[in-house]
Structure 1
Amino acid sequence: MKGRPTRELPPKDLPALPVELIQEVKDFLRLDHGEDDAAIARFASSAAHLCENFTGQMLIVRSLCDRIPARADWQKLKRRPVQAITSVEAIAPDGNARALPANDYAIDIDGDGVGWVKLRAASNFQRIAVTYNAGLAVDWMTVPTTLRQGVVRLAGYLYSHRDGLDAAPPPSAVTALWRPHRRMRLA
């Protein structure tokens, strides 16, 4: 039985920004028109991606797939916080994947939201594909307040300095708001 082709998926883009978040940025900027809503949405999306990179955590839960070596020792998944590990597949040399029986591997999610996977025995394939869900909140409105406020402030800064004429550094309040959520990654 032939499996399906698989590939490593990059993190999916953030879900569309809700009108309420765009309105928060407009309120922060004291804007009362809708002419720049599309630009504000792009700046807010950029600010959210910067927040994810700074904190080392995904803001909104979304599905991911990591391709990792097929080994019998514990391996860490790339993104966090992991909410659920949904499947583990063996990847054949031709790129086709087949689901592994649950007794062929072990999975764990530790207290810091790091996902782990290992094979229970040696295998005859080189790589596995692990599909999982990772993120802090189910939607924008449930993202922790300090992270959202940092996104709003940074989006406001990006909007205000979009021409680059008076480019001052981003406000330090942004990192102050995000720092308590930062998870460092050691190589």
Structure 2
Amino acid sequence: MSFPVAQWPDLPASLIAEVKAFVRIDHDADDDAIAAFLRSAAGLCEDFTGLMLIARSVTDVLPAWQAWQKLKRLPVQAIVSVEAVEADGSAALLAVDDYAIDIDSEGLGWVRMREESDASRIRIVYSCGLAADWDQLPAGLRQGIVRLAGYLYANRDGVDIGGPPSAVTALWRPYRRMRIA
């Protein structure tokens, strides 16, 4: 469920430096490769935990129902707008009285139409993520990302000494949101 790599916020030099210190390299020749491994590790962290790490704008399209519907990403920080989407794809911003929204204590976002609508779908734009930037990530998540990126860098030639370090999942597990499909 992670976003494409191109949509990740820029990586700070300090995060790349952490991976370089972890794998004990002192040159800059592989900084681009390390940045790619960091993005992969962060995406895997999001998939494992079920949480978006860095705050970004998200758009969901849901049926225009009167029943409460859960937004797909979490933790939701703010619901920015709700639009009615017609069958031809055109959209119009809904008045605040036309829908209800809620963000619960666990960061789940909810939306519902107050009355029946001619629109078949609604488009919800919301802000979602644990931290505003990489430096504000919880230490366990950040350290797991650094360790996994270091592991991917050290094993980039296909030599695998038994799989990713179990410390990575141990660091991420307290943040994991279980999903039942």
Alignment partner, residue 95 of structure 1: 89
Q: How many residues align?
A: 179
Choose from 145, 150, 156 the match for 1:162: 156
Structure 1 unaligned runs (5+)?
1-8
Distance 2:11 2:18 in 1: 11
Offset at 1:120?
A: 0.3
Preserved CA contact (<8 Å) 1:12 1:64: no
Alignment of 1:101-180 (within 5 A): 101-180=95-174
User: Percent identical across equivalent pairs?
Assistant: 61
What 5-or-longer segments of structure 2 have no aligned partner? none
The answer on 1:14 being equivalent to 2:19 is: no
3-state DSSP class of the match of 1:40?
Answer: helix
Establish whether residue 65 from structure 1 lines up as the match of residue 90 from structure 2.
Answer: no
Deviations 1:115-162 (A, max 9, x none): 000000111110000000000000000010100000000000000000
1:57-86 C-alpha deviation (Å, 9 max, x unpaired): 000000010000000000000000000000
TM-score by length of 1: 0.93
TM-score (ref. length: structure 2): 0.96
Does 1:49 find its partner at 2:6? no
- The DSSP-based 3-state class of the residue aligned with 1:16 is coil
- 1: CA distance, partners of 2:4 / 2:59: 8
Q: Distance in 2 between matches of 1:11 and 1:133?
A: 18
Question: 1:10, CA displacement in angstroms?
Answer: 7.6
- The answer to whether the Cα contact below 8 Å between 1:52 and 1:58 also exists between their aligned partners in 2 is yes
1:185 is displaced (CA, Å) by 1.7
Deviation at 1:186, TM superposition (A): 2.2
Distance 1:126 1:87 in 2: 17
- Partner SS state of residue 46, structure 1: helix
Mapped to 1, the partners of 2:34 and 2:140 lie a distance apart of 19
Contact 1:76/1:114 (<8 A) preserved: yes
Q: Secondary structure at the match of 2:180?
A: coil
Separation in structure 2 between the aligned mates of residue 85 and residue 169 of structure 1, nearest angstrom: 39
